Structure 1
């Protein structure tokens, strides 16, 4: 029987340890993966309101979220374009800038995602109430309640809430968050854009 040997410190010493810049690069990949997934979801949104429904709050919201997702993609990269040329400090600065830019974009997409999800719940509730019929007086109270629920949900989607959803998700997956920008930094970056 062939027993497997446990790696000893002599063998582990030959394996290069990841640097902090490696951790930064991994963090960028994680944030960008989240961003890509959010963009994919937002680009898959499909709502087909009738001409009478086109300007209703929920349908307008869904169009707005899709437009926001496209605008985020169209925004120019803003983390600086200096080449690190093998200088670890310049590489560190560049990676930190990319983390901030990526985190801001992910934050914006997460906010659009949460708002779009509220819009989809509104649309599904509305469809459930109407069941293929045209709205009439018998539907009025239920439709007004659905509209009110949407407004309440949108009011709850604050910047703090968006940041908490992202932080909770990252923390639950034990991701390295040491250099992620704070909510205040994200808000400042968004105001400058």
Structure 2
């Protein structure tokens, strides 16, 4: 029996895909190469490169096209398909948001490091401040967890008045992400 929510499901999927597209655009727009080749292996630039790789991966990973057969006619089949696409789009947006937050942390690291160096190359007098910069990056990256991202996005969706009644659980999102690594 149809539940009459397929339009809400379709709208939710469209919103998630729109969010994902905007996040992907942000990820792709960030330069991850340092201005000086000696800085290539520094923590912040390594994090930026990893974000670029991760962003490309979440974009390229194949969608799960295996959809359970709905019982009860066309509306039930649409419900089954939309539920599957909802998990896929929700999980992609989740991962893209996590990448953007890691990227933002790395960009703050670049700005802090540039402020420490003030256009000069690193020398022994910069070491304490640069170590502090690296520690701040590590600490910030450690706070970017699946649980924090999930809660942040749920709050954002709620604030925007989006329909979230059938959003996947954090556990299902993590399962989706693990299956595509």
TM over 0.5: yes
Partner secondary structure for residue 52 of structure 1: helix
**Deviation (angstroms), 1:110:** 0.8
CA distance in 1, matches of 2:119, 2:48: 20
Q: Among residues 24, 28, 48, which one is paired with 1:39 in the alignment?
A: 24
Aligned to 2:40: 54
CA distance in 2, matches of 1:186, 1:82: 18
**Deviation (angstroms), 1:81:** 5.9
**Deviation (angstroms), 1:113:** 0.6
Specify every segment of 5 or more residues in structure 2 that has no aligned partner in the other structure, as ranges: none
Post-superposition Cα deviations, 1:68-93, rounded to whole Å, max 9, x if no partner, equal: 11111111111436898x70000000
State the TM-score, normalized to the length of structure 1: 0.86
Over 3 Å counting, the alpha-carbon distance change for 1:191 and 1:41 in structure 2 is same
1:191 aligns with 2:181: no
1:116 aligns with 2:103: yes
State the TM-score, normalized to the length of structure 2: 0.91
Aligned to 2:8: 23
Post-superposition Cα deviations, 1:94-114, rounded to whole Å, max 9, x if no partner, equal: 000000000111111011111
Specify every segment of 5 or more residues in structure 1 that has no aligned partner in the other structure, as ranges: 1-18
Q: Among residues 151, 159, 174, which one is paired with 2:138 in the alignment?
A: 151
Post-superposition Cα deviations, 1:40-78, rounded to whole Å, max 9, x if no partner, equal: 000000143122110111101001101111111111111
CA distance in 2, matches of 1:48, 1:189: 31
**Deviation (angstroms), 1:20:** 0.7
CA distance in 1, matches of 2:56, 2:41: 20
1:165 aligns with 2:152: yes
CA distance in 2, matches of 1:76, 1:184: 20
CA distance in 2, matches of 1:76, 1:102: 12
Query: What is the total number of aligned residue pairs between the two structures?
Result: 174
Matches within 5 A, 1:58-137: 58-80=44-66, 87-137=74-124
CA distance in 2, matches of 1:188, 1:48: 32
CA distance in 2, matches of 1:191, 1:32: 20
CA distance in 2, matches of 1:59, 1:165: 26
